[in-house]
Structure 1
Amino acid sequence: MKILFSKALFPNILGITIVLILSGWLMVQAEGNWVFTIAIILFEFLVISIIFMQFYNKYTRPLKKASKTVNEMIRGNYSARFYNGNSEEMEQLSKNINKLARNMNEITIQEQMHAEQLTSIIDNMKNGLVLIDEKGYVHLVNRGFLEMFHGNEKQYRGHLYYDVFQNEAMHDVVQKTFLYEQPVKQQFKNKRGLTKNYMEVIAAPIFNEHNMIKGAVLVIYDITELKRLEKMRKDFVANVSHELRTPITSIRGFAETLKEAQHDEKAAEEFIEIIYKESHRLQLLIEDLLELSRLEREGFQLEKEDFNVKQMIDAVLPSLEQKAEKKELNLATSISSDISIHADVEKLKQVIINLVDNAINYTPSGGDVNLKVSEDEHRVHFSVEDTGIGMEQKVIQRIFERFYRVDKDRSRNTGGTGLGLAIVKHIVEVHQGEIVVDSEVSKGTAIHVYIPKD
């Protein structure tokens, strides 16, 4: 009964009741006058029709519009709106529907943004990403995966993993993930044309709320650079061990010989001289290793200052001239006296000493070694040229590697550590400079170093 007295129905019911009572009273007064009775009935019909039309316009028609707006929202059109102020109830309904539409629109926009962000992150990952469902079908491959293994997305999505993954290691990882229901990691080689890359794949199972496996996600890393660095580390350790073992073995051997047996004075002096040379070589090796370590240390800072290049070279030239003279080489220099530079003077001294010393070591007696310095507007050009044994083109790229020697016997006989050019390269790089090598077998080598003036 409460509904009859609601704001929406009570005025209409009251109006109809009044019309019926009034028309009933008039019909009693008519006393059989059919014309008057018909007129009263028509009047009742007209009044009741007006009441119902008003009710229709005020409630029924707005409800139809509200229903249409809700249907638009169900179809995903959250920009649809409903406005009606015919009654307090319809006005409140329109506000609620429009508020719901705005909230749904905001949620949809946020979801789209999150989806776009997630897609952008997945596609811009350098690593490969694959999503596989519990039946083995591929649902997602990102751009990183396609770059690693080639092909396009259509070749993978919607296909069984063992039909589209060519590498057996990938099959094995997926199978173990589903079998053991725990993360699995494995490394494998991936051939791309003539190149061979090392990959690491980590697969992890995906579970639903009932702890049932629903699929697996695979992340593939290109670890080629890590493998290269690991090989360099192993080679470096092996080379250091070998380079340290050789002088230590000589020192120990001759020391034991001196200790255990009787020798004439001349033989003892020879042994002591060998021990001295090997210990000096060991000292040079350790100093070069420490210098390389300092240059490669993160945060290494050059101690730059303004200085005259000729004065810097004159300070190191006497010892180099003495070594060249002992080997019967002609060491010539061509340096302008007014060239200045803002750089680390001690480090550039090392560059000059190592380059000229290297040229002397690899140039036969009677040959020439030339040190030239020139400048342009922005850089100072240091050039060391020799008429030595030269190198093949394929060797040039390796001479800056640690412990690499073009002629191993010659380098060891001259006391070289195999680290001189590696140190030169690092010093030039920390100065933001450039180093260029020209060489021809049996004709000689020219090494050009360009250092910015400031």
Structure 2
Amino acid sequence: MIIQWINRKIGRQLMASFYIVLTTLMISSLVVYTYTDTKLQETRLKLEDIRERSARAGALWEEWQDLQFNMRGYALIGDQDIYQKMINQRKTIDEQTRWFEENAIYQQGKDYSRSSRELYAYYFEAILPLIQSYVEAKSSGTVTESFLEGKTLTSLPLGKELLANGQIKLDASGNIDVLSEINKSELALGGYRDFLEDWSEKTSRQLEQEIQTTQLIWLSNIIVLVGVLIFFVYPFIRKITAELLSLVKNSQRLAGGEDIKHVKVSGRKDEIGILALSFNQMASSISDNKQHLLAKNEELQAQQEELQAQQEELQAQQQELEEALELTMRNEQHLQYRNDLTETLAAREALTAYPEIIEKLIAITDSEIGALVFVDEGSAYSIVTHGMTEELSERLLGSDLSLLKRAESLKKAVHSSKQVASDHPLPYPYYMYETAVPIFDPASEEAIAFIYLVRYRDQFTNEQMRDIMSFSRQLSLSLLRMRLFDEMNREKTKTERILDSIREAVIYIEPGKDEVFVNRPLYDLFPELQYGAAKNETLQGCLNTIRAVVDEPEIFARYMEGILRGEVPKDSLQFSIHQQVVFIQFYVETIEVEGIRKGTMLVLRDVTKETEMDRLKSELVSTVSHELRTPLSSIYGFTELMLNRKMDLSKQDKYLKTIHSETERLSNLVNDFLDVQRMEARIQSYQKGLLNLQPLLEETTQFYAASTTNHTITFRSLTDACPLIEADEEKMKQLMNNLLNNAVKYSPFGGNIEVVLEADHHHVQFAVRDEGIGIPKSALAKLFDKFYRVDNSDSRKIGGTGLGLAICKEIVEGHDGEITVESVEKQGSTFTVKLPQSVQEYMVVPDGLDVSEK
């Protein structure tokens, strides 16, 4: 049934022949591949086994060499660590020897493992115990020699016993014979290694032979394939050709007036058989008609000329109709191809779709291979091919003598024909007909692409060339359209990136449209917009999401209503979101093109930092006013008393001390402001030198301990050797004063204050611990910010400018250090300063010695 089904169509017969050849090739290739892979795997495993055996043999011999060295060292110095190392080596040597005993395949491996085992027994059952006995005798004083003498070993009780049992032997000089065993093992190792090398060479040669065998099999495979083509495919094609030629000759004979009774086509049931059957029926019908006419000839002799004229006229009309039908069908097919190409060009928006177009063009022109070559910027080329090899593509683009270069220089279509003596794609010499047609930009008349087509049978007809030229003009418009489309996409992408790169959030809307365009900062400002991305693509959905997080939605809604009515507010709107966590400035810009309003851009700017800075500045003004007013009021009051009243010297002295204290307080306050200003301007300078922190900490601690009666202030050092640091001594004093002053100030009810100094290999650090009011966790993140003060009742009672800790942080970071804080509210705080050591070595500093340098 299958054979009958195949014989009904010539195409099926051709495909069946193709599949037979393909199946033969695949089966033979699979057999060759399986055979080659199996042999390569076997050879690889053999070579890996040889390498492993050689590596293990070398490692075992190195262990023996190391053991001899350790045994000599143990005999000389009697170190138990060396003895323990020899015991460990004994285990390693035993495992390696056992591996050779268990995995020995050939006699050389067995000889080597036996030799190694004998050497193992000789060393570890005789020599090592004897050396151990010698070391023990040496340790007990029985043996007093500095260097090991062979006769001394044989004089020991164990040596005599081993000699008597034959476990050790003596050489000609009376010493224990060790070299003979070692030489024996070394000789076995050399033989084993030579065997492994010979085995490896033999395996390599075997691999080469297998590769040669595989090559011969591949050659046989190719010969078989050629044989199938010659003895099966070629006769099949030749048979079809012969039968078609037979039909052609009989048709010519029939047209010449000969009688054709029957055309034999070997019982075929395919198209040729059907054609032969139709031909036979037609020939039979013509013959019958001819006989009938001859029989009637005598009766119709008078009408013969008239009938003959009518017959000639009918034949002429039939021929005209056939020619018209053929022309109509050809035009219809031509129009269909052109419509397909036109639709393909209109439906594509990228150059990646052009393989389909070149494929259709090859089909229209009956070409074998072809390509579309595009001229990129800088006279570079990109190519879309169909059926072309990579070598042919490179030659077409790279050769200065190629048809493409000629078409480019002449700026017109060029043709070429040449005979090719090659086995690809045809197994015999053939003619190659090429044509290259440039595609021009109508505006600049410059070539923007080329159509390259190749045929192997005959040249391109004039009609085909007209089709190619017509298509080149359509392709020119398509390329220009796609370039414009790509340029628009690039401009769109550039605009999106520009909007995403600015810091302000943007919403772009157009009149009468509900769609919006937003940038990335808007999602950063309102993360809620990302959760409902689908509904937030509309203007109403976006505004509803934003309004839901605004603290005053009514004001925001009124502002937006005016914008949506087409009004452009002159003033911006400032509002907060998330319960005044973020503050936003909202303003509007219109987009006009040639005086016509095309859209509106809503800009939302995050002004949280500016708002917070304004609030801090307001608090600073209030705080500074209070802090400056207090000492100035005291100075002014006491000065006025001294000027307007007469008083004794004791009161004058008391008032002057108060004025001096308040003046000093005022000076420190002004210095703090100046320090902050210098640090913000990055002009703060440090006079660094080698400095020992311990005396400074002790001095500062003693000063504050003497100035308070409610607190117990102590200093404790956890290091005896005080490392030096590179630091500005005055700034370090300011740092310590600020920290201790805060510890005293924020411990209003007294308590213990401890200063602890410690050091490691790279840093020196000190910590100030108090038992004061502590710091809330929510305030720790902003504690070192300028002008920041903890907002609770206890802190407000104490007062301050909020600059002390900011100055501390700037000083520490100016010395490449780090300051941290740990605090529990109502229990106290710990401030830790960590500074890098100087490159100097540790320096032991006696108590009371100041080694600081300016």
Deviations 1:34-58 (A, max 9, x none): 858976996798699779968996x
Matching of residue 325 in structure 1 with residue 703 in structure 2: no
2:475 alignment partner AA: N
Contact 1:316 1:353 survives alignment (8 Å): no
**1:175 maps to what in 2?**
561
Paired AA for residue 620 in structure 2: F
Counterpart amino acid of residue 70 in structure 1: T
Which amino acid in 2 is paired with 1:284? N
Partner of 1:391: 774
Task: Report the Cα distance in structure 2 between the residues aligned to 1:393 and 1:164, rounded to whole angstroms.
Answer: 34
Which segment is superposed worse, 224-233 or 347-356? Answer: 347-356
1:149-160 equivalent positions in 2, closer than 5 A: 150-151=528-529, 152-158=532-538, 160=540
Aligned equivalent of 2:290: none
Counterparts of 1:222 and 1:452 in 2: how far apart (Å)? 39
Following TM superposition, by how much is the alpha carbon of 1:359 offset from its aligned partner in structure 2, in angstroms? 3.1
TM-score by length of 2: 0.41
Q: Distance in 2 between matches of 1:129 and 1:278?
A: 54
Larger helix share, 1 or 2: 2
CA distance in 1, matches of 2:819, 2:333: 83
CA displacement 1:192-218 (0-9 Å, x = unmatched): xx664322212223445562x454221
Mark the CA change 1:243 to 1:364 in structure 2 (over 3 Å): closer, same or farther. closer
CA deviation vs aligned residue, 1:24-83 (integer Å, no higher than 9, x gap) = xxxxxxxx99858976996798699779968996x8865653443233333345534364
CA contact (8 A) 1:173 1:203 kept: no
Amino acid at match of 1:176: G
* Alignment counterpart, residue 189 of structure 1, candidates 534, 557, 576: 576
**How has the CA–CA distance of structure 1 residues 66 and 125 changed in structure 2, closer, same or farther, with 3 Å as cutoff?**
farther
Decide whether the 8 Å contact of 2:723 with 2:837 is kept in 1. Answer: no
Q: Deviations over 1:372-399 (max 9, x none)?
A: 222345543311224x534254586376
Deviations 1:260-313 (A, max 9, x none): 4444444333333332222211111111111122223357676766x45xx234
Structure 2 counterpart of 1:425, one-letter code? K
Query: Cα 1:114–1:86, aligned 2, differ >3 Å: closer, same or farther?
Result: farther
Pick closer, same or farther for the CA change 1:136–1:249 going to 2, 3 Å: farther
Structure 1 equivalent of residue 588 of structure 2? 203
Residue of structure 1 in register with 2:270 after alignment: none
1:70 to 308, 324, 342: 342
- Going from structure 1 to structure 2, the CA distance change for 1:77 and 1:40 (only over 3 Å counts) comes to farther
Return the offset for 1:228.
1.4
Q: Normalised by the size of structure 1, how large is the TM-score?
A: 0.71
What stretches of structure 1 of length at least 5 have no aligned partner? 1-31
| Structure ranking higher on relative contact order (CA contacts 8 Å, 6+ apart) | 1
Amino acid at match of 1:175: E
Give 1:96's aligned amino acid.
R
Asked whether the 8 Å contact 2:765–2:833 carries over to 1, the reply is: yes
Q: Counterpart amino acid of 2:695?
A: D
For 1:134, what is the secondary structure of its paired residue?
coil
Residue 804 (structure 2) pairs with residue 420 (structure 1): yes
2:612 matches 1:228: yes
Contact 1:425 1:435 in 2 (8 A): no
SS in 2 for 1:350: helix
**Cα deviation code 1:206-243 (max 9, x no counterpart):** 445562x4542212223223211221122123222322
What percent of counterpart residues are identical?
21
Cα 1:327–1:165 shift into 2, 3 Å: closer
Summarize the alignment of residues 197-276 of structure 1 with structure 2, pairs less than 5 Å apart: 197-207=582-592, 209=594, 211=596, 213-276=597-660
Aligned-partner residue type, residue 137 of structure 1 = D
1:233–1:383 CA distance, 2 compared to 1 (3 A): same
Corresponding residue for residue 486 of structure 2: 109
One-letter amino acid matched to 1:292:
V
Question: Is the contact made by 1:183 and 1:205 (CA closer than 8 Å) also made in structure 2?
Answer: no
Cα distance in 2 for partners of 1:390, 1:103 equals 77
Inter-partner Cα distance in structure 2 for 1:176 and 1:300: 52
Question: Cα distance, 1:136 vs. partner?
Answer: 6.9
| Cα gap change, 1:47 to 1:437, in 2 (>3 Å) | same
Give the counterpart letter for 1:112 in structure 2.
N
Identify which range, 41-50 or 136-145, moves more after superposition: 41-50
In structure 2, the residue corresponding to 1:327 is in which secondary structure? Answer: coil
1:186 Cα deviation after fit = 0.7
Root-mean-square deviation (Å):
4.3
Task: Give the letter aligned to residue 153 of structure 1.
Answer: A
Q: 2-side partners of 1:158 and 1:403: how far apart?
A: 43
- Please say if residues 821 and 831 of structure 2, whose CA atoms lie closer than 8 Å, have aligned partners that are also in contact: yes
Q: Which whole-Å CA distance do the structure 2 matches of 1:436 and 1:86 have between them?
A: 91
> 2:736: which partner in 1?
352
Once residues 266 and 404 of structure 1 are traced to their aligned partners in structure 2, the CA distance between those partners, rounded to angstroms, is 40
Give the drift of 1:342. 5.2
Structure 1 CA distance for aligned equivalents of residues 683 and 485 of structure 2: 48
- CA gap 1:409/1:198 in 2 versus in 1, 3 angstroms: closer
Query: What is aligned with 1:9?
Result: none
More strand by share: 1
> Match for residue 818 of structure 2?
433
CA distance in 1 between counterparts of 2:513 and 2:485 reads 31
Asked if 1 retains the 8 angstrom alpha-carbon contact of 2:700 and 2:736, the reply is: no
Match of 2:474?
97
Question: SS in structure 1 opposite 2:526?
Answer: helix
Equivalent AA in structure 1 for residue 699 of structure 2? P
Q: Secondary structure at the match of 1:153?
A: coil
Please identify, of 158-167 and 48-57, the stretch whose mean Cα deviation from structure 2 is larger: 48-57
2:526 touches 2:546 (CA, 8 Å); kept in 1? Answer: no
Amino acid at match of 1:318: E
Q: How many Å apart are 1:103 and its aligned residue?
A: 3.2
The correspondence for 1:280, drawn from 654, 664, 678, is 664
- 1:204–1:322: structure 2 CA closer, same or farther, 3 Å change rule? closer
Alpha-carbon distance between aligned partners in 2 of 1:245 and 1:446, rounded to the nearest angstrom? 32
Task: Determine the structure 2 residue equivalent to 1:3.
Answer: none
SS of 1:280's partner is helix
Q: CA deviation at 1:452?
A: 4.7
Q: Is the 8 A contact 1:129 1:145 kept in 2?
A: yes
Partner in structure 1 of residue 370 of structure 2:
none
Aligned mates of 1:86, 1:300 — CA distance in 2: 88
- Distance in 2 (CA, whole Å) between partners of 1:354 and 1:234 is 24
Change over 3 Å in CA distance of 1:364–1:173 after alignment to 2? closer
Q: How far off its partner does 1:250 sit? A: 2.8
